[in-house]
Every structure is written in C-alpha cells, then in structure tokens.
C-alpha cells in the first residue's frame, strides 16, 4: 500500500468524457485528491456522495478531486449520476494496473498527491475524521466533512486483488445486459433488444449509415440512418420493417406534423402510424382482428421504434420534454394497417393521392381509440348518428368546432352497412358532419375559448369546420359491429396535420 511520502506512480486513464487524463497533467496545476472506487461497493458510493460537497471548496484551494473507478466508463458515469457526484471521473480497465501500482487493497481509498508527485495523505474506507484532517491540511475551514452516520465504514476488496477466476465470476454476477440498458435510459419502460453492431448493420441492409434525416424535435438531436436503425433494433423490429420505419421517421420530421408540439403539449396525444399497400402483407402486419391492439410484431415494434426515436434522439421523455399530463398507451406504440380487402372504399393512401399499388405510411397525431358500439342498428342512418355523437365528444364534449382532422376507424361490418346504402366515403363523412351539429346554446359551458362568442343560441354548429376534416378508413375483424374514433390533438392554429410518405418497399424484396 502506498504511504505518505512515497512517490506516486504516473498513469494515463480515460475519462467518462472520452479524453485521456494523466496524473502529471493533473498535478501540474496543484494538489490532486484521487479517490479509488468501484460501483458495486456500498462504501465507495457513500464516499462519492459525501465528498461531492467538497469538490468546489477543494477546487478553490487548488486541489483537484478525481474519482478513479475500477469500472467501464459507462458504469462509472452511471455510478456518479446515482451518487449525485459531478467531479472528474476516470475509468480504470482490467487488469487494474493503476490500482496495483498504488498498492491498493481496499476501495474506497483516497490519496492526496502533492505538487511534487508524492503522497501526502492516504485514507482507506470511509473515515470522516481522517477526511476532516485532510481538509484542514489543504487549508479548508469546512469544520467536519460530515456529521452524518456512519462516520466510519470499512471498504471492499479492490479489484486488482482478485484472481482471474474471481474477476470472471464477478463480471457474470454483476453484469446483466438488459438491466444495463434500463440503467442507461435506453428503454420506454419495457425490455429492449441490445443494438449490437451486427444487429444494426442487418437492420440497415446496406444503406448509407451516415445519411442524415435531420434533427428530431423537441431536443433537436440529429438522426442518421444508423441511429434510426439502432432505435428499430431496440424496439424489436425485423430488418424487413426498416423501410416503413424510415418512411415514418421522415413523415414525423415533416414540419406539418409538428413533432415539437406533439411532444411538448400537455395533451395525451401521440403519433399514430397507418400503413397501406403491399408492404402490409409483405411484412405480416395486422389489419384485421385486434388490429389496434398487440400481439403482432410488425404493428407493435414499428410504432415503438418511432417513439424510441422521439425519446432517445429528440429528448421527448416524460417529465422532461414530453409534458403529457396523463399520456396513454399509444405513446409506447400505435401502429396498424388498414384492412383494404374488407373496405368498400378506396384506401386512406389513395384518398391522399397515392396509387393503389404503392406502399404508404401515414402519421396522425391522435389519442387512444374510443370504441363506438352499435350492434343492433341495420339502418345506416343510425350508424351515422352513433359515429357522429361519439365524435362530438372528441377532445371535449362541448368544444365546437375543433378544426382538426379526426380519424374514424370503421369496422368492416359497419362499413358494409354504410356501403349497402350506396354511400361513398365522401358521403359518409358529410353525413357524420351534419349529424354531429348541435345548437350553440346547448354548448355554452366549460371550455369554449370564445369560439361561439356572438353566435345565436339556435344556430347549429358542427364539430368540424369542414367535412374533409373527417378521415375515414377501415380496420378490424369480421365479427362485431364496432368502430373506433381516434380523437385528435386540437392545437388551435399550432396543431398537427396528417403526413404521408411512400415506403421504398423495393429495399426488402
């Protein structure tokens, strides 16, 4: 063990910021207080917490406080964050030659190195009285370093004292890759797939990894195809899904979609991905029974990849830049395919100007689905009334008009009844628009924002400003007369518009 008066050995170690640091470079500016620690040692973590308040006073006394971790850089950084310690952090790799050169047998061990490179004070374990004396030696008038208990606590064996078998056993016992990814904050609360180099390369499928798609609001991190592929791997996507993920990311970054507002709003909305065209069957997406639910890998993971992109690259995480008051499950993933085969009308993509044989993903800013059940009506007008009355409650039951696109997911049985009446998709939208109208006088309560100011009480007002804001598509299974409404985010001049992008399906043929 190094003793006071001994010459300290030189070292060159990486910092958690990536820059190498030498002891000679540190001591050139004054004394250095090295604190050797390890993440799994409770006494080490105690020392880091207790020494943090000394970092600034020591700096003012020309003493650099430095933590030397017997851990990988990521583990060292995470340990410092957990201990709320902010001072310089170095990482010592196996076989812990620096610890061995200092003769360490215990962590934590603190060594005060003078300008001449010699050890002045050595403290093993946590010893508050010894740190009091050390503080006085460097001229600090801080009194007791801490009055908290314990004032003394022995440390743990330094890793340089482990034999090879013990080091291997320790790595196996301490390291859990999936827990590591949780600790890094790379998840949405559910387990993720580690984005290894091999997995990311398979996801990219030979495209240019460095190609940039732009900046991801609201935090404005840059998304390269490599980073997007990493998010797709984390989400559990198969490589064949990546063209859809890429097109969806491009749609999300379109200014009209307003990803910044979608993320920052206190509303519960999230991105809803709707897929059309041949790619649906090609990657096995679900458009039928439980299409809006889980248990389909493509549906679940494509939507999740976009949410991870927003959270990891755009900084849109709850409590940070994601300010949703309550949120909803769709903010983990909400992606489904339209059931074009069961639809009596043109698909959503065709309605938006694409050819029937093109693969398209459309992004919509919406809430979770509101189920509309009408099992008994065979008169299509009654189905219209059910849809209109449910649609009238979207966002707020008495807020008229909302002036926002609103998606109606029509179940196949309802769609068949509406088509049997001879109505086109446009005619169904117009009928819902008319049936949703209410007297202005019946709406004068709650959240109005002045929209009906000066309007006569007997004037009929629709939920939407024009019928084109009612967006119809078909999804779901063949049994059960259900439809759903996906309420919109109502931004009043700063909301979101649906954005569609063609999927380059040729990449996965």
197-219 tens-digit pLDDT: 899 999 999 999 999 999 999 99
343-389 tens-digit pLDDT: 999 999 999 999 999 999 999 999 999 999 999 887 899 999 999 99
Residues 105 and 195 in one domain: no
Question: By mean pLDDT, which of 134-143, 171-180, 446-455 is the weakest?
Answer: 171-180
Task: Give the pLDDT confidence score for residue 219 in this predicted structure.
Answer: 92
Is residue 508 included in any domain, yes or no?
no
26-76 tens-digit pLDDT: 999 899 999 999 998 999 999 999 999 999 999 999 999 999 999 989 889
Percent of the chain with pLDDT over 70: 95
Task: Give the pLDDT confidence score for residue 165 in this predicted structure.
Answer: 66
Domain that holds residue 222: 184-335+351-357
Residues 165 and 226 in one domain: no
292-309 tens-digit pLDDT: 998 999 999 999 999 999
Is the pLDDT at 186 greater than 80? The verdict is: yes
Task: Give the pLDDT confidence score for residue 509 in this predicted structure.
Answer: 38
Question: By mean pLDDT, which of 136-140, 240-244, 468-472 is the weakest?
Answer: 136-140
* Cα distance between residue 484 and residue 364, in whole Å: 15
Is residue 211 included in any domain, yes or no?
yes
Is residue 5 included in any domain, yes or no?
no
Is residue 2 included in any domain, yes or no?
no
Residues 319 and 431 in one domain: no
Which residues are registered as beta bridge partners of 223?
214
Q: Which of 196, 201, 253, 197 is CA-nearest to residue 223?
A: 253
Residues 25 and 132 in one domain: yes
pTM tops 0.85, yes or no: no
pLDDT band at 166 (very low <50, low <70, confident <90, very high): low
Q: What is the CATH number of the domain that holds 383?
A: 3.30.1330
Residues 130 and 202 in one domain: no
Mean pLDDT of the chain: 92
Is residue 287 included in any domain, yes or no?
yes
Task: Give the pLDDT confidence score for residue 494 in this predicted structure.
Answer: 78
pLDDT band at 507 (very low <50, low <70, confident <90, very high): very low
Residues 121 and 71 in one domain: yes
Question: Which residues have C-beta within 8 Å of that of residue 460, sequence separation ≥ 6?
Answer: 437, 438, 439, 440
92-137 tens-digit pLDDT: 988 899 999 999 999 999 999 999 999 999 999 999 999 999 999 9
Residues 295 and 384 in one domain: no
Query: How many domains does the chain fold into?
Result: 3
Alpha helices in 313-401 (DSSP H): 348-351, 380-391
Q: What is the CATH number of the domain that holds 118?
A: 3.40.30.10
Residues 324 and 375 in one domain: no
Is residue 49 included in any domain, yes or no?
yes
Residues 311 and 402 in one domain: no
Residues 263 and 305 in one domain: yes
pLDDT band at 148 (very low <50, low <70, confident <90, very high): confident
Task: Give the pLDDT confidence score for residue 278 in this predicted structure.
Answer: 96
* Cα distance between residue 377 and residue 370, in whole Å: 19
Task: Give the pLDDT confidence score for residue 29 in this predicted structure.
Answer: 87
Is residue 238 included in any domain, yes or no?
yes
Q: What is the DSSP string of 425-446?
A: HHHHHHHHHHHT-EEGGGG-SS
Residues 45 and 133 in one domain: yes
Q: Are 302 and 241 in contact (CB under 8 A)?
A: yes
Is residue 209 included in any domain, yes or no?
yes
Task: Give the pLDDT confidence score for residue 169 in this predicted structure.
Answer: 56
Question: Which residues have C-beta within 8 Å of that of residue 100, sequence separation ≥ 6?
Answer: 160
Residues 143 and 233 in one domain: no
């Amino acid at each position: 063990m190094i003793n006071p008066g001994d010459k300290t050995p030189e070292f060159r170690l990486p910092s958690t910021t990536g820059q190498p640091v030498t002891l000679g470079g540190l001591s050139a500016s004054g004394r250095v207080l090295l604190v050797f620690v390890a993440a799994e040692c409770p006494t080490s973590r105690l020392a880091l917490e207790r020494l943090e308040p000394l970092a600034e006073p020591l700096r003012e006394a020309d003493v650099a406080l430095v933590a030397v971790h017997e851990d990988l850089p990521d583990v060292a950084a995470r340990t410092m964050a957990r201990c709320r310690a902010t001072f310089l952090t170095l990482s010592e790799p196996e076989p812990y030659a620096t610890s061995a050169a200092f003769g360490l047998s215990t962590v934590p061990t603190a060594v005060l190195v003078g300008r001449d490179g010699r050890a002045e004070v050595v403290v093993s374990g946590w010893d508050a009285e010894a740190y009091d004396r050390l503080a006085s030696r460097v001229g600090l008038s801080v009194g007791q370093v801490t009055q908290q208990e314990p004032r003394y606590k022995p440390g743990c064996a330094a890793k340089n004292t482990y034999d090879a078998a013990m080091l291997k056993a320790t790595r196996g016992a301490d390291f859990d890759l999936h827990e590591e990814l949780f600790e890094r904050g790379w998840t949405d609360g559910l387990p993720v797939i580690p984005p290894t180099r091999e997995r990311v390369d398979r996801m990219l499928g030979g495209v240019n990894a460095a190609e940039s798609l732009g900046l991801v609001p609201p935090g404005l991190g840059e998304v390269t195809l490599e980073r997007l592929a990493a998010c797709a791997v984390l989400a559990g996507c198969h490589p064949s899904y990546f063209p859809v993920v890429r097109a969806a990311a491009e749609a999300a970054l379109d200014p009209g979609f307003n990803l910044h507002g979608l993320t920052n709003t206190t509303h519960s909305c999230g991105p809803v991905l709707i897929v059309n065209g041949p790619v649906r069957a090609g990657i096995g997406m679900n458009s039928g029974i439980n299409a809006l639910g889980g248990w389909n890998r493509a549906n679940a993971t494509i939507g999740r990849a976009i949410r991870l992109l927003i959270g990891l690259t755009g900084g849109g995480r709850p409590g940070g830049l994601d300010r949703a008051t309550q949120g909803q499950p769709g903010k983990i993933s909400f992606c489904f395919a339209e059931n074009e085969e069961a639809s009596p009308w043109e698909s959503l993509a065709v309605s938006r100007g694409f050819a029937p044989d093109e693969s398209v993903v459309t992004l919509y800013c919406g809430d979770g689905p509101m189920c509309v059940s009408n099992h008994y009506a065979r008169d299509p007008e009654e189905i219209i009334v059910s849809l209109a009355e449910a649609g009238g409650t979207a966002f707020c039951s008495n807020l008229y008009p909302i002036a926002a696109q609103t998606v109606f997911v029509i179940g196949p049985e309802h769609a068949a009844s509406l088509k049997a009446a001879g109505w086109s998709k446009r005619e169904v939208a117009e009928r819902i628009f008319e049936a949703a109208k209410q007297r202005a006088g019946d709406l004068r309560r709650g959240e109005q924002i002045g929209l009906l100011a000066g309007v006569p009480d007997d004037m009929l007002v629709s939920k939407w400003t024009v019928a084109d804001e009612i967006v119809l598509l078909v999804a779901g299974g063949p049994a059960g007369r259900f439809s759903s409404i996906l309420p919109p985010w109502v931004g009043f001049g700063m909301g979101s518009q649906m954005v569609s992008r063609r999927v380059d399906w040729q990449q996965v043929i």
